Structure 1
Amino acid sequence: YALPIRNGSPNLSSNTPMYPPLHAPAANPFTNIPGYEGIGGGGYLPPPMPLQPVAPQPGPIPDNWNIPALSEEAAREAFKDYVQSHCCYGSGPADEGVITNTESFNTYRLRLETFTENRSTEMAEKPYEGKSPVLGSPAPTPWEVKTKTPQLFTKDTEEIRVPYTSSVKVILLKGHKSKQCRDCNGSGKKEEENCSHCNGTGKDRCSKCNAKGKKKCETCNGKKQVLTYVKVKVEWKNNVDDHLVEQNCSLTDSELKSVSGKELYKITQIMVYPLHGFPNPDIVEASDRLIKEHQSKYAQTSRILQQRQTVELIPVTKVNYKWKNKMYVYYVYGNENKVSADNYPETCCCCVIM
């Protein structure tokens, strides 16, 4: 059990209230500290001054937002590399197939990143090391606690002890060398014979303390005192949403998300504005929608530290080719020249999934 320390020593008068056992939920001793009345309630704390949305402004128009079509030579080399990476694919279509025509399906990708800081509070305790808590000054509120912001747009966490919230408790623990045997309910007998579990004693030997009646307290580390304080947990997150504007190129979202494109536009500031004036109306609509969604999701419970808005143009080339008098199709996409080729015409039997 824990007793409050007053004037440097435990007050053991009959009027002194006993703290609950340490393993039970404890009352909040910090309710009189401004900013910590609801400590332990869970959830993030709202920032003191949520940012307001930025008024729409005209966005810049890229000077060059087209990518040159992929050459037949580059398309064939990408196809050969793709086939070589599949052990069950024959090289015939890649080596002997005749490319009949290519078609570009350039795809836009809009990305909005919102870098946020969240704060929550909880009661904490650790073994008391003998240093008196610093008193006499008002505790900073959760959002006034100083911390060092990590690199922008990177995930990180930090736990900080709040100044001027510490107090010391004395731990008084009572142990038992044994307890009632669970097999015979303390009678020492089972089916008219001595209980084999407790050898007829009716008591179980305590395995945690080896029947010594005490063990080192994990809470106070054997020091019989703990320091109780408020802890602020700070979490930095990078919240990312993408929007793809494609031209019916038959590639999946996961395939397009796996590659990079040509960066057409990027801006980083505390709050970005919708891309009004961008040449593609779908990008304009998506930019306006995502900015409003991020404002609604994060501004009330988080501090928005920075936003970054990017537009990429992902090159996609549809390649039609002929092999053994039949027509086939594959796609080359991304700066990495990845290939997607459904129904590849020359595979061995081991590729069949039973």
Structure 2
Amino acid sequence: MFDSYAGYEGTSGGEGGAYLPPPMLSVPMPEASSHPEWHDNIPSISEERAREAFEDYVSSKCCYSSGPVKDGVITNMESFNTYRYRLETFTESRSTKLSQEPYTGQRADAAIQRAPGPWEIAAQPPSYFTEHKETIRVPYTSSIKKCDSCGGMGTKPCPSCTGTGSKVCSWCNGSGQSPDNESCNKCNCSGREECSSCSGSGVLKCNTCDGKGQLLVFINLIVKWSTEKDEYVAQDSSGLRLEKLVKVSGKELFRDAQIMVYPVLGFPDVSVAQASERLIRDHRVKYTKNSRILQQRQTIELITITRVNYTWKEKPYVYYVYGNELKVNAEDYPASCCCSVM
């Protein structure tokens, strides 16, 4: 029935039909942005800041002794940096779902005029890069049908008593007599009592149509706005594993936002420029098939890493201080023990 509406072919009653490809629209050509100013000096932190960060880190660990913090001797500090490139693509996608509700006199407007296409229906997007979902009833798709669940009766046989209105007496177990061989007062010796689920009627109101016997069926349009994100972190020679940088921030060097962004040009780290070109290409291929790109944003952050070498009890160890948050990583911490919280 709904296949007769142009653009809604294949709409089903599941979680939603297939995502609907957007119409071809002319999109302004992206403009190239100049690369950020570049300085050769690598930001560094003081020995005092490194010690404070180390002390905070150790105090947060219940199984770490403070000995290496108090008595450890810093022998060398070396600063490194790495770059994180992030591409965010804000998309709008649309899918359809066959929906229904009990019919209580609502207007049935199917076939009064042409139903607007899925991408012709107005929907106000939220602020850029804000997740949101909206359900819109498609005009001129509402019609009335008999409820299949109850056959249009509005009621269904009670499952507790199989439609008889009564059940075996719970007191005498159907014998008509109480356990002491007296007459069962609960069922008046009949052995059956009224079904409490349906109050003896043998039927229950149909939940699908709320007892109305009819349904209003229509197409719902599900509009979803989402932000697709990819990142690239450039390799560095500090020895700190890159996955440790996921939860820290860096100094923002570059930001560019357009409907479609242009790959980064002239950035000193070639791998960052290459990642920009690759990810922008991938996003355009991936997110224009079944969605519409409303805005893209690309940023580059400088993340500082300080490798601190120290000795404790005449043995060498190392820890890292990284990110704006001065996070610490000390995988070879020499004074830890196993403990449990009771």
Task: Show the 5 A alignment for 1:217-232.
Answer: 217-232=206-221
- Residue aligned with 2:55, SS: helix
Q: Which residue of 2 aligns with 1:189?
A: none
CA drift at 1:222: 2.0
CA drift at 1:209: 4.3
Measured at CA, do residues 241 and 222 of structure 1 come closer, stay the same or move farther in structure 2, by a change above 3 Å? Answer: same
Q: How many residues matched?
A: 308
Opposite residue 264 of structure 2, the aligned amino acid is L
CA drift at 1:75: 0.8
Structure 2 distance, partners of 1:236, 1:158, is 9
Opposite residue 3 of structure 2, the aligned amino acid is T
Structure 1 distance, partners of 2:239, 2:257, is 32
- Residue aligned with 1:105, SS: strand
Task: Show the 5 A alignment for 1:49-68.
Answer: 49=24, 54=29, 58-64=32-38, 67-68=42-43
Q: Which residue of 2 aligns with 1:42?
A: 17
Task: Show the 5 A alignment for 1:13-162.
Answer: 29-40=1-12, 42-49=17-24, 54=29, 58-64=32-38, 67-134=42-109, 136-162=112-138
Measured at CA, do residues 175 and 68 of structure 1 come closer, stay the same or move farther in structure 2, by a change above 3 Å? Answer: closer
1:244 pairs with 2:218 = no
Measured at CA, do residues 167 and 198 of structure 1 come closer, stay the same or move farther in structure 2, by a change above 3 Å? Answer: farther
Gaps of 5+ in 1: 1-28, 181-195, 200-204
1:319 pairs with 2:308 = yes
- Residue aligned with 2:4, SS: coil
| Farther-moved stretch of structure 1 (205-214 vs 323-332) | 205-214
CA drift at 1:216: 1.5
CA drift at 1:118: 1.1
Measured at CA, do residues 101 and 176 of structure 1 come closer, stay the same or move farther in structure 2, by a change above 3 Å? Answer: closer
Q: Which residue of 1 aligns with 2:186?
A: none
Structure 2 distance, partners of 1:94, 1:163, is 69
Q: Which residue of 1 aligns with 2:188?
A: none
Q: Which residue of 2 aligns with 1:22?
A: none
Measured at CA, do residues 95 and 51 of structure 1 come closer, stay the same or move farther in structure 2, by a change above 3 Å? Answer: farther
CA drift at 1:350: 3.2
Opposite residue 47 of structure 1, the aligned amino acid is P
Structure 2 distance, partners of 1:222, 1:314, is 64
Q: Which residue of 2 aligns with 1:169?
A: 145
CA drift at 1:72: 1.0
- Residue aligned with 1:317, SS: strand
Opposite residue 299 of structure 1, the aligned amino acid is T
Structure 2 distance, partners of 1:123, 1:197, is 47
CA drift at 1:67: 4.3
Contact (CA 8 Å) 1:60, 1:278: kept in 2 or not? Answer: no
Please, what TM-score do these two structures have when normalized by structure 1? Answer: 0.78
| Farther-moved stretch of structure 1 (136-145 vs 260-269) | 136-145
Measured at CA, do residues 111 and 326 of structure 1 come closer, stay the same or move farther in structure 2, by a change above 3 Å? Answer: same
CA drift at 1:315: 0.7
Contact (CA 8 Å) 1:59, 1:277: kept in 2 or not? Answer: no
Contact (CA 8 Å) 1:51, 1:299: kept in 2 or not? Answer: no
Structure 2 distance, partners of 1:207, 1:44, is 47
- Residue aligned with 1:106, SS: strand
Opposite residue 97 of structure 2, the aligned amino acid is E
RMSD over aligned Cα, in angstroms? Answer: 3.0
| Farther-moved stretch of structure 1 (331-340 vs 316-325) | 316-325
CA drift at 1:210: 5.9
Contact (CA 8 Å) 2:264, 2:273: kept in 1 or not? Answer: yes
Structure 1 distance, partners of 2:173, 2:119, is 57
Q: Which residue of 2 aligns with 1:254?
A: 243
Measured at CA, do residues 62 and 197 of structure 1 come closer, stay the same or move farther in structure 2, by a change above 3 Å? Answer: farther
Opposite residue 145 of structure 1, the aligned amino acid is I
Contact (CA 8 Å) 1:50, 1:300: kept in 2 or not? Answer: no
Structure 2 distance, partners of 1:321, 1:33, is 73
Structure 2 distance, partners of 1:50, 1:282, is 32
Opposite residue 322 of structure 2, the aligned amino acid is Y
Measured at CA, do residues 58 and 48 of structure 1 come closer, stay the same or move farther in structure 2, by a change above 3 Å? Answer: closer
Measured at CA, do residues 222 and 280 of structure 1 come closer, stay the same or move farther in structure 2, by a change above 3 Å? Answer: same
Contact (CA 8 Å) 2:234, 2:272: kept in 1 or not? Answer: yes
Contact (CA 8 Å) 2:162, 2:202: kept in 1 or not? Answer: no
Opposite residue 5 of structure 2, the aligned amino acid is I
Contact (CA 8 Å) 1:58, 1:277: kept in 2 or not? Answer: no
| Farther-moved stretch of structure 1 (233-242 vs 89-98) | 89-98
CA drift at 1:328: 1.1
Measured at CA, do residues 58 and 270 of structure 1 come closer, stay the same or move farther in structure 2, by a change above 3 Å? Answer: closer
